[in-house]
Chains A and B, each alone.
Chain A
Amino acid sequence: MKRLAGWMLSSPATLAVSLFLIIPVAATISVTFTAPGGVFAPYVEFFSSGFQRTVLWRTFEVAALTTIMALFFGLLTAYVVSRCPPWMKSVLIVLAVFPLLTGVVVRSFAWLIILGRNGVLNNTLEWLGVIERPMALLYSQTSVVIAMIYIFIPLMILVLIGVLENIPDDLLQASSSLGASPTATFVQIILPLATPGLIVGAVLVFTASFTSYATPHLLGGTRQMMMGTFLHQRAMVSFDWVSASTVAAIMVVVIVTTVLVMTRLAKRLNPMAS
């Protein structure tokens, strides 16, 4: 009876996820194996095109760069925030939550105003006399990466504040009372204890930037196509659904692999685990 109750209560949600997620996504992926020309034909086609390899590689590159930069600046910022007095910490957390709740389109759009030909950055540099005429900053990989770091660093900061707060103060006091410098304490105590959290943050940022659409669309244009923008282009501009499905399948494989490998790694590297 009780067993049945559990199943019954969870069945509407289970049904929704099965019908509207698992079956449709499985159907999308299976299309790539039943296409005319053989089982792996769409994949052979994908990887034999230099342009499509470039799109995949660029997506890896942008996602990796974003992740590394967000990790570096996010960790240092979160460290300072976690050591702040409580009132200041709350203010700084609110200031990180606000952009996160503001939405990707709005935040990507901000960088159009900043990096545009008549944008804030060009105007400022011209006014300062650094440059004579506006530079073309938009639609480059740099502009995409900058905006991506902007989009995802709040996520990293918030994850890492939580992680750093969980490190007991006693440990840090013990370390400094035994004569370790703040740097040594950071490298030898904080960093190892924060590693699982760093991996979680890295996975979140990597997967989100790998699959993002709005930011590369607005700041990269058609020149800096990434997997997300490419999938949309294949499906809605070229109406080549087999090709779009192949892009989708590759994205799923990359994301699932990243999540599985990294969470396993995070578990293994956790010094607090027995």
Chain B
Amino acid sequence: MNTRIHPALILLTVLVYFFLIGPLIIIFGASVSDTSYLAFPPQGLTLHWFENIWEISAFRRTIVTSFQVALLGTFIALLIGIPAAYALNRHRIHLPGWLSTLFILPILVPEIVIGFSLLRSINVGLGIPVIYSLLIGHTLLVLPYVVRVISAALASFDFSIEEAAISLGSRPVKTFFTIVLPNVRSGVIAAFILAFITSINDVSVSLFLTGPGISTLPIQILAHVEQFFDPTVASVSVLLMALTIIVMIIVERTLGLTVVAK
């Protein structure tokens, strides 16, 4: 391209990126500060606040809960989302158009409304224990990502290969697992990662579906910040950023990061 970009625009872009990354670097600095309050630049260096995460039992518990709920919720969403995405692609002509909109609904309805409604209806109304309500909420939250990403992967799959296998005598279920699924593997990985990250970071749905002894990491962070203004939360944030980096490396290695950008 030969259109020149005005230097002022380049300066602005640099500033925007400084604005994007600067705060995350500040969190990192605050997490190693040798002070009992949040300070940047760090006064002295210590890893005490990282140890502190494990010493505070509430953090230990919520980290475990968050991972359990995210893994199990994502797994259930894949279990019900993959057949739905398959049906939407393979049997589109037999299905009404609104069905694909239905699976996007959990993104359209405000998360905080979903959380509150689930609390009212299934937790209090039906007496379903908090932990199961939380799991249901998270499954619902990540379902749209699963259906959308896997639908996109299936859209570029040539179903005549599947039909060839079936016409040669392979059973439909077996064909799905040996022909279709391996071909959309990258879509499944992308859906898994996107769903997992969404679930781990969720605030608004979890906000209402946590109870005594059962909470998730972001909710615990909010509660901790209100009571103590120490660098422990900065350390937890650094660990969450490390998790994000690991996820990005996995995505980059397996599919290329453009998948997430879409």
- List the interface of chain A (C-beta within 8 A of B): 2-3, 5-10, 12-14, 16-17, 20-25, 27-28, 31, 73, 76-77, 79-81, 83, 90, 92-99, 101-107, 109-114, 116, 118-120, 150, 153-154, 157-158, 161-162, 169, 172-173, 176, 182, 185, 207, 210-214, 217-218, 228, 231-232, 235-236, 241, 244-245, 248, 251-252, 255-256, 259
Contact = CB atoms under 8 A, between A and B. Distances in A.
Contacts of B125: 27
A236 B80 CA distance: 32
A179 B250 CA distance: 47
Contact of A110 (B24, B114, B116): B24
A117 to B, nearest CB: 10
Given A27-B120, A103-B200, A218-B222, A6 B110 contact: no
Contacts of B13: 76-77, 80-81
A24 B222 contact: no
The secondary-structure label for the interface of chain B is helix
Contacts of B137: 20
B166 interface: no
Contacts of B87: 5-10
The 8 closest A-B pairs by CB, nearest first: A6-B91, A103-B201, A110-B23, A211-B110, A24-B121, A24-B117, A13-B84, A9-B87
B139 interface: yes
A187 to B, nearest CB: 13
A160 to B, nearest CB: 11
A81 B14 CA distance: 10
A112 B23 CA distance: 10
Nearest to A214: B203
Given A10-B88, A213-B207, 19 more contacts: A6-B90, A6-B91, A7-B87, A7-B94, A24-B114, A24-B117, A79-B5, A98-B245, A105-B218, A106-B221, A106-B241, A107-B23, A110-B27, A113-B30, A113-B234, A185-B3, A207-B110, A214-B204, A251-B110
Nearest to B244: A101
Nearest to A213: B204
B248 A80 contact: no
Interface stretch (B33-41, B48-56, B156-164): B33-41
A114 B247 CA distance: 27
A3 B94 contact: yes
A153 B110 contact: no
A24 B2 CA distance: 55
Contacts of A20: 118, 122, 136-137, 139-140
Contacts of A95: 17, 20-21
Nearest to A207: B110
Interface string B1-25: 1111110011011001101110110
